[in-house]
Structure 1
Amino acid sequence: MVNLKSAWFVPLLAAAVLAYPAQEAKRFEKRDESFSTVPSQRFAIFAPKVVIISMFVSEQDVWLEPYCLKNNISIPGLSPLYPYIHCDSDYEVCQVTVGEGGFNAAATTAALVLNPLFDFTKTFFMIAGIAGINPYEGTIGSATFARFARFAVEALGEYPTSLYGTEVFELNADSDTAKIYRALYNYAPANQPSKAVKCDAAASEVWFTGSDLAESFGNFTALMTNGMGHYCATANEDNATLGALLRAALAKLVDFGRIVVMRTASNFDRSPPSTANDAVYGLLYANVGAFDTSLENLVLAGSPFVNDVIKNWEKYNDGRYAPKNYIGDIFGTLGGTPDFGPYGVAN
C-alpha cells in the first residue's frame, strides 16, 4: 500500500484539487446559449424495408426460419437477453426483440433507431406480439390490428399516447383445445373461429384479468378516444415502443406513418360465464390451448404485409399508401390536430 504521507506526488495532487474548482467554474460559466445536435444517416450501412418488433423469444423465433434471418448484428443498447438484430441476406427484412415490459421496450427501440449504422427513414415497423383479447370483440387465435394504442393507468385523467394506421389480413391456424375452450363462451365472437379483426389495444404494466377490469378498460378506451376506440387487445410494451418511435420521428429518423401494431390472441381477458366470471380460474387454471396458435398466426397474419412491402416497394415508397388520418401523440407533436384527447378537434 502506498504511504500518502511520504509520497512525492501529494503536493502536486493537492494543488490540482484546489485549482480544479476554479478552472471548472471558468470553463462552464453560464451563458445565454443553447446547443442541439442533428441526427444523420450519412454513414448508414443498412436500410431495412421492414423491421419486425417482438417482445420475447417465442415471438421472435417464429420469424427466423421463414425469412432466413441468419445475419446477426449487435449494437450498443440492445437487451442483454436479445443482443442481436436478425436480418435476411439482403438486409431488407430485419427482426429485433425488445424485451418484456415498457422500460425494456423503450430502451431497446431508442438504441435501435439512434444507431448510425441504420437508416430507418423509409422503414415499415411492425410490432408483432401475442395478447389477451376481449371476447366481445374477437376470439383466441385471432389477429388484431389497432388504430389506437392506449396506456392503462391508475389515474383516469391520463390520455392515450398514439394513433396510427393499420392493415388487415386473414389467417387460418387453430387448435382443437382452443375450439373446446371457445365453446365455454355462450356468445359471439368468442365462440367463433379465429379471424383478423380491426380493434384497439390497451397497454398495461400489470397483467390483468376479469370482467370488471376488462369492462373498465373498455369504457376508458372509448372515453379517451372520443368514442372512436374499441378496446379488444391487451398489451404491455406497445405504447413504450411507440413513444420511442415518435421521438425518432420528431428527429426525422423514422416515418411514424409506417407503423403497424398487430397482436394475436393467446387468451381471453376474462373467464367464461360458466365459471361465474372467476378471474382466478381464467388466470391460473384455464386450458386455453391458444398459445402456440397465436404464435403461428403472427406469421400467418403478418407475412402478407411483409411480403407485399418487399414485392411492391416502389408503390409503398411513393406515398400512395400514406395514412389519411391523424397520426401521432395527444399533443400533436408531429403536426396536425389530434381527433382525440382534450386538444382534439372534437373538443
Structure 2
Amino acid sequence: MFPTIKGIALPLASTVAGLALTTTTALADDGITPVPVKVFVGSMFEIGDNSGDRAGEFQHWYESYWQDAEPVEVHGASHDLYCNDAGVCGSVLGMGKVASSSSMQAILLDPRYDFSDTWFILSGVAGTPPSQGTIGMVSWGSWLVDYDLGHRWAPQEGEPGEPVFQPRKGYEDIRVYQLNPQLVERAMALSKDTPLEDSDSAQQYRQRYPDEMARRAPFVRTGTHMTGDTFFHGPGLSAEAQYMTELYGADDYVITEMEAAAITQVIDRLHGTDRIMSLRGAVNFDQGNPDETTQQHLDPAPGNTAGGFAETVANIELVGSHVVDDIVEHWDQWQDGVPTQE
C-alpha cells in the first residue's frame, strides 16, 4: 500500500525529505503555518519524570522553560517535544549516536515546526580528563571529534608505545566538526561568570587527584568534545583521544560524551553547523587516580564514587540558560547570525 497525504498516493521510493515537503504543502493548504523555533535544547536522558524527582539531563531545562507546555508526539522521535510561547523547544533525544541522531532527524523533519533560523544546544553530562577539567565543570565545545570512523588494533600488535588508531579514508567530512568560533566566543562571554553549584562529596573526591585542574572548583571553559558510543576509560585511551584531536587539528580534548558529533551530522545535512552549540557538564574523570586501577575506577567500591551529579546537571542549565535567554530577549540581533559582542 502506498502512503497517502490528503488522499494523494505517494511512491514508496519517495524520500523522507520529499514526504516532509509534501506534508508542509498540505499544512499550508490548510492554512497552518509551521511554528518558528528560535532555540532547540536536546538532552540525552532523563532519570524519571520531567519534574519533581531526581533530575537527569532534561529536568532543569523542563522546569525553566516547559512547565506549562503540552507534550507533542513526534513520529520517529524517542520522546515528546515541548515548546513554549517564546519559541524555545526541547526534547530528550536518547543516549548514544543512533538514538539521539535519529530522534533529532525526526524532529527536524516534522512539518509542524520551522527550524530554518534555530539555534541548537546539545546538552548533557560527560567525562573529563583530570588534566583538563573537574567534577561539576561545564564546557562549550569548540570542536566535535568522532571517536570512531577509523582503524584500531591491539597494542601488542603494533609498535610499543605508538598509537593504536588511524583514521579511515572516506569520513573526512563527518569525523570532525569545528563549531562556529564566533558562537562559542559569544556563549562563553554570556556564561563564563555563572556561579556554579558544588558539593562536599565532589570537593573531597577531587583531592584524590594530583592535577591542579582536577582539584579546582567548577568553572566554565571551552575545548574539544569527543563523541563515542564506547565508554573509553583509563590514561591510555585518554591519551589516544588527545592524539586524535591533534591529528585532526582540533583543540585539546576536554570532554568525552556519546552523541554530539552524530547529532551535528544530522543537523548539518539540513541546516549547516553555524548555529550548533555543544554543552556538557563533567560528572566523572575519564581515568582513575594514581592509587587505583582503571577497573577499580569503573567499578568503585561503596563510598568511592565521585559525587556531584545533581550539582552538575543543575550547572549545565544555569550556564546554558544565559544563552537561551539572550537569544530570545534579543531575537532581532540573533535571527540573522551571532551578534557582535559589545
Tell me which interval the TM-score lies in, with the shorter structure as reference length. 0.7 to 0.9
1 CA distance for matches of 2:298 and 2:283?
12
Q: Is residue 145 from structure 1 mapped to residue 146 from structure 2 by the alignment? A: no
Which structure dedicates a bigger proportion of its chain to strand?
2
| Shift in Å, 1:62 | 1.7
Name the counterpart of 2:318.
300
2 CA distance for matches of 1:314 and 1:105?
31
2 CA distance for matches of 1:75 and 1:198?
33
What does the per-residue CA deviation read over 1:107-148, in whole Å, with 9 as the maximum and x for residues that have no partner? 111111111111000111100110001111111100011111
Name the counterpart of 2:255.
233
Q: Secondary structure at the match of 2:319?
A: helix
Name the counterpart of 2:265.
243
Name the counterpart of 1:279.
294
Name the counterpart of 2:81.
85
1 CA distance for matches of 2:216 and 2:86?
39
**Do the aligned residues in 1 keep the contact of 2:86 with 2:328 (CA within 8 Å)?**
no
| Shift in Å, 1:71 | 2.1
| Shift in Å, 1:319 | 3.0
Name the counterpart of 1:163.
178
Q: Is residue 222 from structure 1 mapped to residue 222 from structure 2 by the alignment? A: no
Name the counterpart of 1:16.
none
Name the counterpart of 2:204.
180
Residue type at the aligned position of 1:301 = V
Q: Is residue 270 from structure 1 mapped to residue 287 from structure 2 by the alignment? A: yes
Q: Secondary structure at the match of 1:94?
A: strand
| Shift in Å, 1:317 | 1.7
**Do the aligned residues in 2 keep the contact of 1:185 with 1:274 (CA within 8 Å)?**
no
2 CA distance for matches of 1:121 and 1:197?
29
1 CA distance for matches of 2:127 and 2:208?
16
Residue type at the aligned position of 2:309 = F
2 CA distance for matches of 1:144 and 1:320?
19
Q: Secondary structure at the match of 1:319?
A: coil
| Aligned alpha-carbon RMSD (Å) | 2.1
Q: Give the one of 290, 315, 318 matched to 2:333.
A: 315
Q: Secondary structure at the match of 2:312?
A: helix
2 CA distance for matches of 1:320 and 1:309?
9
**Do the aligned residues in 1 keep the contact of 2:223 with 2:253 (CA within 8 Å)?**
yes
Alpha carbons of 1:216 and 1:322: their partners in 2 closer, same or farther (altered >3 Å)?
farther
Unmatched 5+ stretches in structure 1: 1-27, 29-35, 250-254, 324-347
Alpha carbons of 1:320 and 1:91: their partners in 2 closer, same or farther (altered >3 Å)?
closer
2 CA distance for matches of 1:139 and 1:245?
30
Residue type at the aligned position of 2:37 = P
What does the per-residue CA deviation read over 1:34-64, in whole Å, with 9 as the maximum and x for residues that have no partner? xx94965664431121110000011111211
| Shift in Å, 1:303 | 0.7
Name the counterpart of 1:73.
72
Aligned length: 276
2 CA distance for matches of 1:115 and 1:68?
19
Alpha carbons of 1:147 and 1:309: their partners in 2 closer, same or farther (altered >3 Å)?
same
Residue type at the aligned position of 1:157 = P
* Equivalent residues in 2 for 1:186-197, closer than 5 Å: 186-197=210-221
1 CA distance for matches of 2:308 and 2:338?
37
Q: Secondary structure at the match of 1:273?
A: coil
Taking only the aligned residue pairs, the percentage that are identical comes to 25
Q: Is residue 118 from structure 1 mapped to residue 113 from structure 2 by the alignment? A: yes
Name the counterpart of 2:60.
62
Residue type at the aligned position of 2:281 = T
